Amino acid sequence: MMLVLIKPLITIINNTQVKQNIAVCAETAIEPRLRVIAQLYHSPL
């Protein structure tokens, strides 16, 4: 009985960790590009 209750919790925890990892990866991938774009826009043409 305990395993039946614990297994969904483990999957939920794993899913949240995966989502956090994806969010961190997305941030690290997007941030440098945003900085480059911001520098391009802020630089006087």
Domain chopping of the chain, boundaries: 1-42
Q: What's the pLDDT score for residue 31?
A: 87
**Cα gap 12→15, rounded to integer Å:** 5
State pTM to two decimals: 0.48
Does residue 8 carry a pLDDT above 80?
yes
**Cα gap 21→29, rounded to integer Å:** 12
25 is written with which tokens? 């990866």
Q: What's the pLDDT score for residue 1?
A: 59
User: Which stretches of the chain are DSSP H helices?
Assistant: 2-42
For the chain, report the end-to-end CA distance as a whole number of angstroms.
68
Q: pLDDT tens, 21-32?
A: 888 888 888 888
